[in-house]
Structure 1
Amino acid sequence: MLELFKALADPCRLRLVAVLLKSELTVQELTQILGMGQSRISRHLKILAEAGVLTVKRQGTWSYYRAGEQNPFFTAIRPEFERALEQLPERRGDLAAVAQTLEARRKRSLEFFDQHAAQWDELSRTLLPVPEYQAGVLALIPEVAVLLEIGVGTGTLMAELARKAKQVIGVDHSPAMLVEARRRLVQDGVPGAELRLGEMTHLPIANGGVGCVVANMVLHHAPDPQAVLAEIARVLQPRGTVVLADLARHEREWAREQLADQWLGFEEGELKAWLEGAGLFEVTIERLAASGAEDVLLVKAVKH
């Protein structure tokens, strides 16, 4: 308890904790948000991490910080502590700066996919091969009235998804990707499929509007994966199902530039904690591996 109080007894560290309770950020991003030098930020982060207030996740050469649960006392006081942080004089400006940072991540991703939409299937398959997993994804999807695929891309799954639901909706933030998806839907003759322009964190779907959400290799492109999972929970009806396919944690740093990956895959425990934090339970995770390919995680969860 004394260690925690010492760690929090600094205005700069309070601002850091307040920001990292909202988002997972790098040191470089935090220097821009708080307008401080990197050495100063790094020193404060070290103190907070040693007190168990923050955790650090290293992905390649980047380190992401977020609020942690290593200090039981901090976990116990966290709800009231978060409310008190709203009174910080810099709070409004810090939140605006966080929003700008996440928007910059989103814009980089959008520009990349608009530019590479026509070549995307070949590009991703060649640069970052994965084991064949589509049959596994389809096996996890229940038959529902309305099914939503987020990050529909070029529409490679839409024809198969249409067999699982009366109505299939595909959402993507890239207009160029939606052009490619529409071309594929016409080519494959998929009836009852609808494509919509939208963000993963602001889906153009009503609360409880779908029975199943599919996210195929999209979460590692999301600026804020936890916000995406919360939005998925919002649009799912009670007992609705989410099915995810994504990369397991890897160290291919070049994927950030060549494939616009925000994250170098995910740990199984990390995904399970995020899903449960979003109100999604009965989580099952299967890891698929193949020689010469990156491991893939197949995930299923249910909204209570």
Structure 2
Amino acid sequence: MLELFKALADPCRLRLVAVLLNSELTVQELTQIMGMGQSRISRHLKILAEAGVLSVKRQGTWSYYRAGEQNSFFSAIRPEFERALEQLPERRNDLAAVAQALEARRRRSLEFFDRHAAQWDELSRTLLPVPEYQEALLALVPEVPVLLEIGVGTGTLMAQLAGKARQVIGVDHSPAMLVEARRRLVQDGVPGAELRLGEMTHLPIADGGAGCVVANMVLHHAADPQAVLTEIVRVLQPQGTVVLADLARHEQEWAREQLADQWLGFEEDELQAWLEGAGLSDVTIERATAANGAEDVLLVKAIKR
């Protein structure tokens, strides 16, 4: 208790905890949000992490901080603590700054995909090869009346998904990607496929509007993966299925710049916790093991509770 109270007894550290309760942010982003120097922010983060208030996840040269659960006493008082933090005088400005940081992530991704849409398939396949997993992914997808694919990209998977549902909807935030996808669907003669412009965190479909949601190599491009999973659960009907394919944790730091990756893949237990926290159960995770320098892929299936 003494260690915790000492860690929290500082206005700057209270603000840091407040912005990290529901977001996962880097030191660089926190310096912009707080309007302070990196050394000062790093010192405060170190104190909070040592007290078990924050947890840190290192991906390559980047460190992501969020509220942790290592301190059991902090976890016990956290609900009341969160309510009290809403009274901080800087709270409104800090929340606006967090939104700007996440928007900057999203904007970088959008600009990248609009610029490279026509070459995306070859670019991703050449720079960051993965094992053949599409057949295994499709085997996890049930037959449903309405199926939603998030991050449809150039439409390479939609023709196969069309055989799983009466109506297939593809969503992407890049207009250039949707142009490529539409061209491919016309070429492949895929009936009943519909393409919509939208964000992963604000899907253009009603609550419970899909029996299955598929996200193929999408989550590592998301500014906030947990927010994406929460949005997926919103659009799933009760007992609906989510099927994900994404990169296992790797150390290819260059992928951030050359492929617009926000995250260097994911750990299995990390995905499990996020899925269950979003309201999904019966989670299964299979690992498609790579060879010859390729990266492993995680195949995930879960059911909406």
Distance in 1 (CA, whole Å) between partners of 2:107 and 2:209 is 27
Is 1:255 the counterpart of 2:266? The answer is no
**Hey, what's the Cα distance between the residues in 2 that align with 1:129 and 1:176?**
23
**1:72-107 C-alpha deviation (Å, 9 max, x unpaired):** 111111111111111100000000000000000000
Q: Which residue of 2 aligns with 1:286?
A: 286
Residues 165-184 of structure 1: pairs in structure 2 closer than 5 A: 165-184=165-184
1:207 lines up with 2:207 in the alignment: yes
CA distance in 2, matches of 1:54, 1:36: 19
Secondary structure of the residue that 1:163 maps to in structure 2? helix
Query: 1:198-246, CA deviations, whole angstroms, 9 ceiling, x for partnerless residues?
Result: 0000000101110000000000000000000000010001000000000
Which residue does 2:30 correspond to in 1? 30
Q: Distance in 1 between matches of 2:220 and 2:165?
A: 26
* Residue aligning to 1:298: 299
Question: What displacement does 1:22 show?
Answer: 1.9
Q: Any idea what SS the aligned residue of 2:163 has?
A: coil
1:164 aligned to 2:164? yes
**Separation in 2, partners of 1:110, 1:51:** 38
Q: Distance between the aligned counterparts of 2:19 and 2:286, measured in 1?
A: 33
Mapped partners of 1:159, 1:42: distance in 2: 48
Structure 2: which amino acid aligns with 1:6? K
CA distance in 2, matches of 1:67, 1:53: 6
Give me the whole-angstrom Cα distance separating, in 2, the residues matched to 1:84 and 1:242. Answer: 36
Match of 1:244 in 2: 244
Q: Deviations over 1:27-68 (max 9, x none)?
A: 010000000111110010001000111111111100000111
For 1:22, the aligned partner's letter is N
Distance in structure 2 (CA, Å) of the matches to 1:287 and 1:66: 27
Specify the alignment match of 2:95 in structure 1.
95
Q: Distance in 1 between matches of 2:4 and 2:23?
A: 21
Provide the residue aligned with 1:13 in structure 2. Answer: 13
Is residue 2:124 matched to residue 1:124?
yes
**What secondary structure is seen at the aligned counterpart in 2 of 1:162?**
helix
Partner of 2:225: 225
Give the match for residue 77 of structure 2.
Answer: 77
Paired with 1:6 and 1:238, the residues of 2 have a C-alpha distance of 45
1:110 partner SS: helix
Q: Alpha-carbon deviation of 1:145?
A: 0.6
Identity among equivalent pairs (%):
89
2:142 alignment partner in structure 1: 142
Instruction: Name the TM-score, length of structure 2 as normaliser.
Output: 0.99
Map 1:44-83 onto structure 2 (within 5 A): 44-83=44-83
- DSSP 3-state at the match of 1:250: coil
Indicate the residue corresponding to 1:114 in structure 2.
Answer: 114
5+ residue gaps, structure 1: none
Structure 2 residues not aligned, in runs of 5+: none
Equivalent position amino acid for 1:251 in 2: E
Give distance in 2, aligned partners of 1:50 and 1:279: 30
Q: What is the total number of aligned residue pairs between the two structures?
A: 304
Determine the C-alpha separation between the residues in 2 that align with 1:291 and 1:191. Answer: 36
User: What SS is found at the alignment partner of 1:243?
Assistant: strand
What per-residue deviation string (whole Å, max 9, x for no partner) do you get for residues 167-225 of structure 1? 00000000000000000000110001100000000000101110000000000000000
CA distance in structure 1 between the aligned counterparts of 2:281 and 2:19, rounded to whole angstroms: 27
User: What is the CA–CA distance in structure 1 between the aligned matches of 2:290 and 2:39, rounded to whole Å?
Assistant: 42
Give the Cα separation in 2 of the matches to 1:279 and 1:82. Answer: 21
> 1:12 is aligned with what amino acid?
C
Q: Deviations over 1:125-144 (max 9, x none)?
A: 00000000001110001110
The 4+ residue runs of structure 1 with deviation greater than 3 A are none
1:197 corresponds to? 197
Alignment partners' CA distance in 2, 1:262 and 1:155: 22
**Residue type of the partner of 1:232?**
I
Mapped to 2, the partners of 1:152 and 1:75 lie a distance apart of: 39
- Within 2, Cα distance between the matches of 1:24 and 1:54? 10
